[in-house]
Amino acid sequence: MDSEGIQSTERKKEVNDGTPWIIRFLGGRATMFVLLSILLIGLIILVFNKVAFVFYPIKVFFSTVVLPIVLATIAYYLLRPILRFLERLKIPRVWGIFIIFMGLIGMITLLVFLVFPFLKVQFANLVEEFPTYFNQMLINVDTFLRTSIFSTYYKEMDININSLLDSGKGNIGQLITDTIGGIASGITSFISALTGFILAIVTVPFILFYLLKDGEKLPQMIKKMLPPRLRDDAEVILKDADHQISAYIQGQILVAISIGIMVSIGFFIIGMKYALLLGALAMFTSVVPYLGPLIAITPAVIIAIVTSPFMLVKLAAVWTIVQLIDGKFISPQIMGKSLKIHPITIIFVLLTAGSLFGVAGVVLGIPGYALLKVVFTHLFKLVKVRYNHYEPDQTMHYEESNK
């Protein structure tokens, strides 16, 4: 008998030793292994719920360090290509980091002294005038509905827009009182949150410096902490995760800047008020897929309705052109198909992450999902390999993909 026949006979003896395949697949020798594992997990969850207060300092620690780490990580992936370019020019890494930091300080200084004051004035004016815009929009919509083909149905609803506006003005005093009371009751929380945010901003440069200096060594450090058997798989997971995060952050920021510039230019051309401010709003909100453009266009639509019907048409034309250019040229070239996430999945992720973690969940939900997808995709591949190893029937094996 040849060697292949001997190995096949030995494997059949291994898989037909009387042990159920599920026990062999899970790595145990008896059903008791599975039952004890489930019992142990249940006990851990029960004990954690009973002594959750013990872990409160750990919760506070993580809630404090998450924000600066996230901000520093985003900056790291944005600045890493620049640092690598400087290294290709034979500039030492430390000096390259110093050049990058000096450039950042200069750029922030220009923004603070040149752009920020103008945006501040526009924002203050918009906040002051927005109630007037909103009331006038309601009056215009009411007038339109009363003279449109829907006038019969609208009149049957018996909506008096003037009484609604008057009642809203009458409740302004109570609204202000309630708002002041809410601010007074939450002043401690506000100061605490503000302090935490300031500390996070102060610590970001230090974290960023060490990420730029030693970030390339981090995957190797993680690999050394793992058993040798897991290191090859861990290296693949870390490389894919790094690629996903890098592609998303760099691509999303470039797309957001492009949208902000195009919206500002388009609004300037059509004569829209607060063009630069609305462009900046479009830039910041575009980092949230699908929901971001809706948030950005809302104040612009209100201003356009109040200005004139023709302004609304011009706004629709500008917004359509911007979305077409972004969808057909900018996003495909910059983002590509790096994430490979279905639009329906993106919507569900945004809704779930937003409900669980608020604004931070909406912003970080998609890259977080992409990261988890990488990990679980590789884990599933390992599960398929393990399943095929312990399944004697060849027809029941998972098909191996060559991708």
What's the rounded mean pLDDT across residues 299-322?
85
**Tokens 């930091």 belong to residue:** 101
User: Out of 68-82, 93-107, 203-217, 289-303, which region has the weakest mean confidence (pLDDT)?
Assistant: 289-303
pLDDT at 76 over 60: yes
Residue with tokens 């013990």: 54
For the chain, the C-alpha Rg in angstroms (whole number) is 29
- pLDDT, tens digit, 9 for 90 and up, residues 190-245: 455 556 667 777 888 888 898 888 888 888 888 888 888 878 888 888 888 888 88
Decide: 245 and 370 in contact? Cβ < 8 Å: yes
pLDDT of residue 280 exceeding 80: yes
Assess whether pLDDT exceeds 50 at residue 173. Answer: no
pLDDT-wise least confident of 16-25, 94-103, 386-395:
16-25
Predicted local confidence at residue 102, as pLDDT: 92
Q: What percent of the chain has pLDDT over 70?
A: 74
Least confident of 5-19, 21-35, 46-60, 83-97: 5-19
Q: What is the pLDDT of residue 32?
A: 64
| Count of other CB atoms within 10 angstroms of residue 283 | 22
CA distance 383 to 388: 9
Q: What is the pLDDT of residue 99?
A: 92
Position 176 scores a pLDDT of 43
How many residues would you count in the chain?
403
- Are 169 and 134 in contact, with CB atoms under 8 Å apart? no
Q: Picking from 52-61, 282-291, 334-343, 379-388, which range would have the lowest pLDDT averaged per residue?
A: 334-343
Question: What token pair was written down for 138?
Answer: 């309601």
Residue 353 pLDDT class (50, 70, 90 cuts): confident
Report CA-CA distances (Å) from 306 to 52, 274, 312, 315, 371: 54, 14, 9, 12, 44
Best mean pLDDT range from 7-16, 45-54, 138-147, 194-203: 45-54
What pLDDT does 180 receive? 45
Amino acid at 295: I
- The confidence score (pLDDT) of residue 112 equals 79
Q: What is the mean pLDDT of the chain?
A: 76
Q: Is residue 354 scored above 60 in pLDDT?
A: yes
